[in-house]
Structure 1
Amino acid sequence: MAGVRKRYGGKRALDGFDLTVERGTVHGVLGPNGAGKTTAVRVMTTLLRHDEGLVRVAGHDVRDRGREVRRRIGLLGQHAALDEDLGGRQNLEMFGRLHHLGARRAGVRADELLERFGLMDTGRKAVKLYSGGMRRRLDLAASLITEPEVLFLDEPTTGLDPRGRAEVWGAVRSLVGGGTTVLLTTQYLEEADQLADRISVVDSGRGVAEGTPDELKARIGGDRIDVVLHDADRLADGAHALAHAAGTHAVSTDVDRRLLSAPVADRMTALTETVRALHARGIEARDIALRRPTLDEVFLQLTAARGAGRPGATERQEMPA
């Protein structure tokens, strides 16, 4: 995508959005509600026509070669597209027939996908009896019925418990291992951290940052040291001790959690010096830990500055009936 714009009335859902995804990778797209994630997916999957810009998927322009694009992609939306009264195998066979595979090939493909996603033993069970994770794995299998080159996953684990999310993550990893290119939109920062090779952060219809998870984390600093004090009354003294040990004035304080945090350049030296400085001042620490910035912190910092001017549109408003 290059310079893509899309308006809904007077609201700009996409405002010069650029995106490049490398073949055979998982590319995550992160953003708050209304940022333009779902609109971008709908444009790339030919479900929505954009106003301006260039969009090519699997080598084809979505405006002029939409049929060729649809032959090469799969889409897993936010809501399951399964018939809950049918069994898992029947659902996959139905999707195969809808894609003109023929009865024999549809049956073979259904069995291949049930085996691939660990659902062979439940293939004849009605989908309404499946767990949430099993339903999403089956929905993911259905999106692969034609062996697409590019798979779009639009918030694929919304509403799933941790076990269900882990099941879907495992399935996605196996797809990429087989050569499929995946574009993933999600609001779960951990999901993007776990799955994505590269991440684009989008806000107000524009990309505000792109890189690997580690590169994005490095934008707000490297390692940090966190110190939880036993006595809240010693927070000020502890902050001075940590600032001296870490060689920085950028010490943050969380009074409710009795937490002090500071960026560090040399992990082990900072840890040793912090312990010494606290001990010298008679300050008792309940916990001391070294950690890297989280993707949550990156996301909040990158989008917070733009929050005041963010349009009121939500993802639901981006998807008119």
Structure 2
Amino acid sequence: MQSLRFLNRLVHGFSCHGNRMATRSCYSIAENAELDKNPRIFKKWDDGYIVRSMTTEDAKQVQRWYADLGTTSRYDLEVIMSTWPRIPGFYIGEIDGEIVASATRVLCADNIFYGSMYYVDPKYRGKALGHRLKNEIAGGHIGKRILTVDAVIDTLAWRLPQLGYSYVFQTKRFDKDVDDDLATEPNYDGSIVKAADVSFGSFIDFDNKYYIQKDFPLRRAFLEKWIAVPGGRSLVAMDTNQNIVGYVCRRPCFQDNQHQIGPLYAEDAVTAKALLQAICTDIKGAKVTINIWEPNTASLDIIQTFKFNHVFDVKRFHHNGVPNDFKPQIFAVTSIDVMSY
């Protein structure tokens, strides 16, 4: 019943608790197309700076910014924007018609937003553009709900505790050129099949066990597209009784011959290792990237077995509370760009 009520809000519009904005700040998915044509302007400043809702075209520029910084999945922002209400959550800063800043706040559960895609064009830094977008506008929409961020370990990360954020653990990125060992068909007692070959309801039932909120309608809509992105691959592990015991997704990056893996959810390390091998059997010679929560030592052991390279770490912080987000069955998160669960 709770999920049905939430789905009704999703289609017809949210009621935003704790919102400080004077005008309507919660929309429905049905309004996304109109917001692409006529973005909602949240605020204009005297210096010409405008913060407004992000459009599909804006998202392409934001993805290019992130692709210039490092390995970036091609479809992450596109999928999330097509399955989530555009407001609250997707923001653009603009000066004289030029996009200069961005941020996203993805509603991952009834009471949890995931913050990412925070960027300011280097030409415009030092003018508090990011601060105004992130704190004055996006912060107003979040209200008293929890905000989760994975912060780059720099000056900002060290300042977050002073701003009331609670540090919990690091998320570690690894990559590797797929070699014979990683691309070998796994020796697995159960079976590994295409995600499209199993009931989507059963697939969601398994995801529900470990995602941050059970039966969250937005997660369901998101995964339905996530497992079918162009150039991607999604696999499911079944035990000998044909029960789902794990799944893994892979999607292509902007960078040539590179892919990101996630999520990788599994009941145990044996299944996780088999899924990691299986998802790489068709891309020998390509580079794969994976993001892992540091407390998951079983996942780190698998990464070490295949001699992945450590790329960087980000620090997981929460504001307005600390959800119980770590689960050992999450061997790789969905995406640190849009939904790090």
Question: TM-score normalized by structure 2?
Answer: 0.22
* TM-score, with structure 1 as normaliser: 0.23
Q: Which has the higher strand share?
A: 2
Whichever of the two has the greater Rg, that structure is 1
Name the structure where helix makes up a greater proportion of residues: 1
